[in-house]
Amino acid sequence: MALWLGAAGPVWATPDIPLADVTAVEVQGDPQAYRLAVTIASPDRGCDQYADWWEVINPAGDLIYRRILAHSHVQEQPFTRSGGPVEIEPDQEVIIRAHMHPGGYGGQVWRGTVTNGFEQVELDPDFAEKLKDEAPIPDGCAF
């Protein structure tokens, strides 16, 4: 099963803080073992400023899955990276967002279910910010 969701403009316009936006999500697989392909647009410049992960969280702010991004994507924008298995049910509502080093959370996010699809939503940049320190976290940047 595949579900493609298209691009949309940024939700949080914060010119002084670089943020990573999730612009598309593709879901494949079966319940409790989905594989997500997440497209991110980010103002990467190298290891000093890059999207360092994307994650799936529940509406309560609990981490379900995190895909670490080992390097910056200066010449590849937007870029898509897959991860899984993501252990969710088809009707389980989740939020998919990206994290920017060093800017943190606050870019465009998607919310929804595998069954009904995902849509761009506004999310307070401080929502579940505590997750930034929860494992797994990057242990460096390759380039």
Domain positions in the chain are 2-123
Band of residue 121 on the pLDDT scale cut at 50, 70, 90: very high
Radius of gyration of the chain from Cα atoms?
14
Band of residue 16 on the pLDDT scale cut at 50, 70, 90: confident
**For residue 67, pLDDT beyond 60:** yes
Domain 2-123 class, CATH top level: mainly beta
CA 62 to chain centroid:
14
Band of residue 128 on the pLDDT scale cut at 50, 70, 90: very high
Q: What is the mean pLDDT of the chain?
A: 91
CA 38 to chain centroid:
7
Q: Each residue of 42-62: pLDDT tens digit?
A: 999 999 999 999 999 999 999
> What is the predicted pLDDT for the residue at 11?
41
Range 6-13 contact pairs with CB under 8 angstroms and sequence separation of 24 or more? 7/39, 7/78, 8/108, 8/120, 9/108, 10/107, 10/108, 11/107, 11/108, 11/109, 11/120, 11/121, 11/122, 11/123, 12/106, 12/107, 12/108, 12/122, 12/125
Alpha carbon of 77 to those of 14, 44, 74: distances in Å? 19, 9, 7
Q: Each residue of 28-42: pLDDT tens digit?
A: 999 999 999 999 999
The residue that leads in pLDDT, 15 or 131, is 131
> What is the predicted pLDDT for the residue at 46?
96
**For residue 127, pLDDT beyond 80:** yes
Band of residue 15 on the pLDDT scale cut at 50, 70, 90: low
Half-sphere exposure in the Cβ direction for 140 (13 Å, CA) = 2
